[in-house]
Amino acid sequence: MTTANQQGLCLTVWFDGDCGFCTRVAKWLEEQPKFVAVRCVAAQSATSTSCPLDTAELLDKITVIANDGSVYRGTNAWITVLWALRNYRRWSLRFSRETWRPWAERLFATIAGVAKLTKRRPRIAAKQSR
Amino acid sequence: MDTTFYTYVCYVVISVGLTIWVARTLHKNGRVFLVDVFDERDELADSVNHLLVVGFYLINFGYICLALKLANHTHDATQAFEAVSYKVGLVLVVLGMMHFFNLFVFSRIRANKRLAQAPPPVPPDAMIQADGTMIAIDKLKGQQE
Is B131 in the A-facing interface, judged by CB distances under 8 Å? no
Q: Three-class SS of residue B80?
A: helix
pLDDT at B145: 54
Whether A113 has a pLDDT exceeding 50, the answer reads yes
Successive 10-residue mean pLDDT values, chain B, 145 residues: 86 92 89 82 88 91 91 86 90 88 83 85 85 75 61
Out of A49, A70, A90, closest to residue B115 by CB: A90
* Residue A92 in contact with partner chain B when CB distance is under 8 A: yes
Read off the pLDDT of residues A29-47 as tens digits, 9 standing for 90 and up. Answer: 999 998 989 989 888 887 7
For residue A3, is pLDDT > 70? no
Among A71, A89, A95, beta carbon nearest to B126: A71
Chain A residue closest to B118 (CA)?
A: A2
* B111 interface with A at CB cutoff 8 Å: no
Q: What is the distance between the alpha carbons of residues A14 and B124, in angstroms, rounded to a whole number? A: 15
B-chain CB neighbours of A33 within 8 Å are: none
